[in-house]
Amino acid sequence: MARGIQDPAIQMDIDCQVDLFENGVFYKSLTLDTPAILSGTISTQGYLDFPVDSSVVLSEGKEYTVKVNYPGFETVTATDTKPNTVKIKELSWRSFNGEWPEWFFDTPAYRISLMGETRKGDPLIEITVVIDDPPDTENFYRMGLNHVALSSTYLDRDSRMQYAVYSDPDPPYMKYSYKSKAHRYSGSMKGYTWAPITQWITWELLWSDKSFNGRSHAFKIIAPPPGDGAYYVVSLYSLSYDYYNYMIDRWKYYKVSDDPFSEPIRLHSNTSNGCGIFAMYSVDKDTLQF
């Protein structure tokens, strides 16, 4: 019977070796972060952590392979290619009063937000992100939105914002945790009491270029107005095939995880001698001033 390296029954030690290869040539051995193992929480203690330091530069268009050697197990390998960055060609916005789609009210960001219950006639902005999708290859995307302000009573100085779309009532997404150095001030609204937080969880949408491959395309998202003295930073992620398909399978799992009669979801994996994911992305950012 196969067991994961993180299986509690396995005595963890420091004999695990992780090597990184670039286009088939040895690049670097990653160093085990022993203090991270000892100081982890109950949910993370025992996991081996091999952080990548600033000397490791991953280049677009190159293939990278990670090999994990652990005593008593077969070598686990996984390979992915860092995608080329698709640039944001145009970025614009318009303000309007409208209604949030129902999907938005299920997001964790809304449930901890200071927004009221109003669903119609809210002041909103529509952000349009235009790209030139590269031809002759499959391309996959994800988008992130940061709210940045010099000061604020209720929001972080740098917080990850939840956005939504009108084009799809049930859009595929991935869960994303964003850690901010600032924190939200305490307060209360909608019957909740707020404590300072430094980590934001958002549902960030995933796109495939199946319907617009090789053509100019405009992503349209809606978000709350940023407020006086604030601006948005839009991040457009170009995802590898493995990254996108793994996240799509996780999204399918989220949708049926509470249904005991649902069919099992087999998560996409690109590893040999194991099950897991080693995936890459590139990102382009632009600032939206108001």
Instruction: State residue 68's pLDDT score.
Output: 92
The mean pLDDT value of the chain amounts to 84
- What is the rounded distance in angstroms from the CA atom of residue 216 to the CA atom of residue 133? 6
Q: What type of residue is 97?
A: N
Strands (E), 12-156: 17-22, 25-30, 63-69, 76-81, 90-98, 122-132, 140-149
Residue with the larger pLDDT of the pair 122 and 13: 122
- What is the rounded distance in angstroms from the CA atom of residue 38 to the CA atom of residue 142? 34
Q: Tell me the per-residue pLDDT of 191-221, one tens digit each, with 9 for 90 and over.
A: 544 454 556 789 999 999 999 999 999 999 9
pLDDT band at 275 (very low <50, low <70, confident <90, very high): confident
Instruction: State residue 149's pLDDT score.
Output: 83
Q: Tell me the per-residue pLDDT of 101-119, one tens digit each, with 9 for 90 and over.
A: 999 989 987 876 655 555 5
- Percent helix, percent strand, percent coil in the chain, to nearest 5: 10, 40, 50
Q: Tell me the per-residue pLDDT of 80-90, one tens digit each, with 9 for 90 and over.
A: 999 999 999 99
Residue with the larger pLDDT of the pair 71 and 123: 123
- What is the rounded distance in angstroms from the CA atom of residue 76 to the CA atom of residue 276? 10
Residue with the larger pLDDT of the pair 32 and 64: 64
Instruction: State residue 10's pLDDT score.
Output: 47
Q: Tell me the per-residue pLDDT of 155-192, one tens digit each, with 9 for 90 and over.
A: 557 888 999 999 999 999 999 988 765 555 444 444 54
Instruction: State residue 113's pLDDT score.
Output: 61
pLDDT(144) > 70: yes
Instruction: State residue 2's pLDDT score.
Output: 43
pLDDT band at 72 (very low <50, low <70, confident <90, very high): confident
Q: Tell me the per-residue pLDDT of 24-49, one tens digit each, with 9 for 90 and over.
A: 999 999 887 766 555 555 455 556 67
